[in-house]
Amino acid sequence: MRRNCLCVFMCLGLVSACGGGGTSPDKCQNVKCNTPPGATCDGKQRLTYAPTGTCVDGGCVYDPRPELCAVACRDGECVSDLCAGVSCDVPPKPSCEGDTLVSYAQPGTCDPATGFCSYSASREACPAACQDGACTGCTRDDDCPADPPRCLDGTLLETSTPRCQAGVCSQVTQKTDCAASNRLCQNGACAGSSLRAPRAGEVIVSEFLANPQAVADNLGEWFEVRSLAAVTLEMSGVRVGDEGTSGFTVSPAASLPLAPGGILVLGINGDLATNGGVTVDYDYASFALANGSDSVRLIAPDGTLIDAVRYDTAAGWSISAGRSLRLDEELLDAELNDDPAAWCPVLESYGLGDGGTPGAPGGTCLECQTAADCESVSPQCQDSLHLLQFTARCDAGACRQDVTTVDCSESGRVCQGGACVSPYRPPAAGELVVSEFMADPSKVNDAVGEWFELANLTDERLTLAGLTVHDDGSNRFSVPADSQLTIGPRARLVFAINGDFAQNGGLKPDYVYSSFTLANSADAIVLELPDVGVIDAVRYSVSGGWAIAAGKSLQLRENFLDANANDDPTHWCQTTLSYGAGDLGTPGALNTSCAN
């Protein structure tokens, strides 16, 4: 072991050399040697130092303490594994051996004997030459790297295709106009959009199929939007949803432009083979249209509501299975399409047979599915004798009216006001009066023997079609409006509760009624027409002086045949002539003279 020697020179009487012969200062004064150096390695030896050293000429000297390591010494420590903590991840740089490129694999391997890393080398013959650790030149296009794409301006993109020609790489450039796909050139790619988003009311829902029949709802639902703007709009980024949480954002791989007046079809399924045969421009998959009540809302990327359609069968929306609803072409408006009356089911069919015109304007409104859906048409007079009657039917979704011609003259009538009516006019107030009545027959029961007589006070034949007879309660009957019942000039007609001569006491009535009876003590006979009002009314009562007697009719004196005069009980008297089975009365004949 070698030791370092410290030589100290003394001044022996050399006054000039030793500072004038005085005493030299002590350089070790106040020096403490208690900080030895750290452990080091000398080959396989580990060197440590005594904790306390000796000050020599102002510096500390520490005695070394060598220790021979069994395997090796590293960083001042004896180690048993030279590769512990060694990371072989920095291989040598590629190099050239003539025209051969030598490169090294990563990671490498640590040699446990030396602790040094070794890396596997691979050699590649360069197609042309090797220089500075890289092959130069080429033999095929794949040997050449492509230049990265770059934007020449806001819409023009330049891309490069490498070519190898005569061992030299070159680039063939190609320019793409991003604006042709409604995109901008950004960061070396066509991205974003050059079109603006729709504003409120510029795009509307114009047709939708909520309840397909040819396929299941979750395969065949779709809706159609139409542009009302004068410029092409960007639909990418538009949010579609209902008033709940269901919805989606239009996000195609490329731009989804909507031209002025253009139509886009958005569907739940884009597969023609399974969606009923509808061609969709965008399939969303995550939005459903309820069959009874739902909504379709279009919301711009900035949150602006573009359009909203809320439909509800309870509010008059005609949601039919297998039929889309389309908006009237005259009502293409974001507010007008809120009205169910602006929509109709579509007659035309597509694909597998559901009704609709997806992607096309217009379409024929489906008027009906059954005849009950068709509007009824009132009968009309073709001329004075012929009546046209209309029967509605539904023919392939369109309402048709079958016409039947009725010859009114065959029933002795004429055509007036859309009906076969009597050629005679109805009586005016006071022209038809009650002239006799049997309230209490004795030969037969009241239920079969009651009757009353009406007198025509005019010189014309009058029609009694539509005449209603009632009391002051609920008893009433009406002569049918199409009845041919008439009363001749100055003639009498008998109305009876029973028309059987053998049952009614021997009476031959002109008209048989039901739902009307004559009380024995007090009642009323009121004659009324719809367009005239009350023609005559007789209200009788025993307590009021009316001489009601069993088996005797009351007759109006001939000189009091008047609608006002017959209100007075003194103008009536009991009949003295008998008819039929023996009750007294003159039904249909002139009244006899009264005894007083």
Q: Count of CB atoms within 10 A of residue 133's CB?
A: 13
- How confident is the model over 519-535, as pLDDT tens digits? 999 999 999 999 899 99
CB 456 within 8 A of CB 489: yes
What is the Cα 559 distance to its own chain's centre? 79
Cα 68 from chain centroid? 89
Model confidence over 270-322: pLDDT tens digits? 999 999 999 999 999 889 999 999 999 999 999 999 999 999 999 999 898 99
The average confidence (pLDDT) of the chain is 90
End-to-end CA distance of the chain: 182
What amino acid occupies position 374?
C
Q: Mind listing the domains of the chain with CATH numbers?
A: 40-79 (no CATH), 95-136 (no CATH), 150-191 (no CATH), 203-355 (2.60.40.1260), 380-421 (no CATH), 432-574 (2.60.40.1260)
Tokens of 132: 């500075």
pLDDT digits (tens, 9 = 90+) for 546-569: 999 999 999 999 999 999 999 999
> What is the C-alpha radius of gyration for the chain, rounded to an integer number of angstroms?
59
DSSP 304-329: -EEEEEEEEGGGT---BTTB-EEE-G
Task: Look up residue 6 and give its two tokens.
Answer: 């410290």
Instruction: Give the whole-angstrom CA distance, residue 461 versus residue 425.
Output: 8
Q: What's the confidence (pLDDT) of residue 44? A: 84
Number of other residues whose CB lies within 10 A of the CB of residue 406: 18
Q: Please tell me the distance from the alpha carbon of residue 457 to that of residue 464, in angstroms, as a whole number.
A: 14
Token digits of residue 217:
């709802």
pLDDT band at 4 (very low <50, low <70, confident <90, very high): very low
Question: What is the Cα 293 distance to its own chain's centre?
Answer: 8
Residue 15: pLDDT above 50? no
Q: What 3-state class would DSSP assign to 338?
A: helix
Furthest-apart CA atoms within the chain: distance in Å: 202
* Cβ contact 129:137 at 8 Å: yes
The position carrying tokens 């009540």 is 293
Instruction: Compute the distance between CA of residue 362 and CA of residue 44 in angstroms, rounded to an integer.
Output: 98
What integer pLDDT is reported at residue 362 of this predicted model? Answer: 87
